[in-house]
A and B are shown apart, each in its own frame.
Chain A
Amino acid sequence: MFAEATFSDVVPFKAIAFQTLYLLVAIAIEGFILYRYLDINHKTAMRYAATINLLSTFVGWIVFFITEAFSPPPLESEIISFVFFERFLFASASASLSPFVIFVSFLMFIGTFLTKWFGLRLLEFVLGKAPKKDDSIAEQVSGFRILGRRVRGVQFDNQANAVFVANAASFTAILLLIFLRIIEPRLNDLWN
């Protein structure tokens, strides 16, 4: 960080453009879902969605920087290959890599959900709004019977439920966008 700044004409403008796009889509979708699930007005919902998405993006970058700094050379090569060439090293290796990629994607989903949930609670605390205790819907969703005994699942309050659904929806939308981006050149090849 305190190294002398070096420059070249290779700049991550695409990363910035795509991240901005994904953030706008995610904020729009999550804002709408928070508005429907929580007892807040439209503007507040959008601001909440913006805050928790920016927070989870920031936390994601920090996790990425730390992982990169401590990654062994083979993993670093894979990261570089993905960043510069949009592929993993060697066709044979990518097959064995896909469980790893799926696992990382799953961790990302859980990680962003927890970050956003925590972020929303933190935000309400900072804004001086104590979370309401009585809007828990845990009884409806998480109790079910196994072998005649009542098993209590994870206690999901309304807020966590809203964030979970919002996160799932925005992940789906972003995945669709990424998928479109991947198949778009191939579709062009088909039509031409």
Chain B
Amino acid sequence: MELITRFFATIGIWDFIQAVLKSIQDLFPKTYDSWQALVWFSLYSWLMAALAVDPWVEIFISSCAWLFLIPGVHWAMYKEKFLKESLTWGGIFIGPWITGALVCTFLFGSLTGRLTEAAFILWPPISAIIASLPKFVKAGPTYGFPDPPVRQDLMILFLVNLLMSCWIQFYFLTQEWLVEYPTLVEQNFQESAFVVRLFDGDGDRRVTSRGSRIIDEAAKVLDRNVTNLTWSETELWLRDLDQRLNVVQTGALDKLPGATENNLWTIQARVLPGTEYDVQLWSVWNGPSTTGIGYYFTKTCQIRKRLRPPLSGLNPFQRSPERNQPITPEGISRTIDNAVVARVTCGQTSDRMDGQPASATTR
């Protein structure tokens, strides 16, 4: 027991507890013109805002809460020696940046209803303004421009903060790009001189590539368009494959969430020679990539003959409009032609392959 007491005494735990108790005591205002009073007003306003029913009243009261909190916190950081010392890093008092963060959260987060980019972008310049305000106050107190050496320091302070603001803006610009070009996320940014990925930074991200989703959708469009066409219609369709690709491509891309990058994906296809008929599909990425030469996925769909499935118990060879017609050789061949339709089965999508497909039809 004595040992424990001595241990606590050595690390100054009693002093610490006393200091904590003292600081808790300090949290309660002794006079009305103190930062504690402002913070308590603010807490009280928030409580009232939470009870308010009308949304406008709530916004008004919570704005009041912010307007009490911001000067309260600012005051506390200047007044309390402990806070002021612990917030001075490398000779720079960072209190104004905390006040600035609160001001930005209030103006561009609380009032706008959601946290906007402006709250982050304007944080450094607004904080710099807050930090420089005392320099414009002269003894008296009157207002005036500071002396030249202070002006020089202020200019550097403002420019550094504007530069930080640019960095934040650049961060949001890259986020915007990642939304507009979702395919970027599939790749690794190790070569980049600008961005890093904080989590699993090495290697590509394990996501289903947009390219393989696009080719799946393209195969579905092909399936929808060709299945149950008669064999001669199928041959006609495949003869004009190059013109049909537009339909396939827009049909496939429409199934995916819209993005600016969509026009950087193309669908290519060709009928493999010597087959009746194997159609090879490619989804090709022509946008930014690690290799700089794009990449593609490919998949082969087999189009085969089969008898038209019987509809409502009819004989496949018997189509209703021709039932009562006299049997002629042309009629028989037309009936047979109508009875043979196309069926589509698609294989697996290939892995991602770098470059452009060598043997695809160019569009």
Interface residues in chain A, defined as those with a beta carbon under 8 Å from any beta carbon in chain B: 1-16, 18-19, 47, 50-51, 54-55, 57-58, 61-62, 65, 68, 73, 77, 80-81, 83-91, 94, 123, 126-129, 181
Q: Is B2 an interface residue (CB 8 A)?
A: no
Q: List chain A residues, Cβ under 8 A from B290.
A: 85
Interface residues in chain B, defined as those with a beta carbon under 8 Å from any beta carbon in chain A: 108, 112, 114-121, 148, 151-152, 155-156, 159-160, 162-163, 166-167, 169-175, 177-179, 181, 184, 187, 189, 191-199, 260, 263-264, 286-290, 292-294
* Chain B, Cβ-Cβ closest to A69: B173
Contact across chains for A85 and B117 when beta carbons are under 8 A apart: no
Q: List chain A residues, Cβ under 8 A from B148.
A: 127-129
Q: List chain B residues, Cβ under 8 A from A55.
A: 159
Q: List chain B residues, Cβ under 8 A from A129.
A: 148
Given A8-B178, A15-B193, are A91 and B171 neighbors across the interface (CB < 8 Å)? no
Given A65-B173, A81-B292, A84-B184, are A15 and B260 neighbors across the interface (CB < 8 Å)? no
Contact across chains for B194 and A15 when beta carbons are under 8 A apart: yes
Q: List chain B residues, Cβ under 8 A from A14.
A: 192-196
Closest 7 CB pairs of A and B: A81-B288, A54-B159, A61-B166, A9-B198, A15-B194, A86-B191, A87-B292
Contact across chains for A9 and B197 when beta carbons are under 8 A apart: yes
Q: In the assembly, what is the distance between CA of A129 and CA of B293, in Å?
A: 56
Q: In the assembly, what is the distance between CA of A9 and CA of B174, in Å?
A: 11
Q: List 27 A-B contacts (CB under 8 A).
A: A1-B118, A2-B108, A4-B116, A6-B172, A6-B179, A8-B175, A9-B197, A10-B189, A11-B196, A12-B167, A18-B193, A19-B163, A47-B156, A51-B155, A54-B162, A58-B159, A58-B163, A61-B163, A80-B184, A83-B174, A84-B184, A84-B189, A84-B194, A85-B290, A89-B286, A123-B155, A126-B151
A70 → B minimal CB distance (Å): 14
Contact across chains for B152 and A85 when beta carbons are under 8 A apart: no
Q: List chain A residues, Cβ under 8 A from B108.
A: 2
Given A61-B166, A85-B189, are A2 and B151 neighbors across the interface (CB < 8 Å)? no
Contact across chains for A5 and B194 when beta carbons are under 8 A apart: no
* Chain B, Cβ-Cβ closest to A94: B292
Q: List chain B residues, Cβ under 8 A from A18.
A: 193
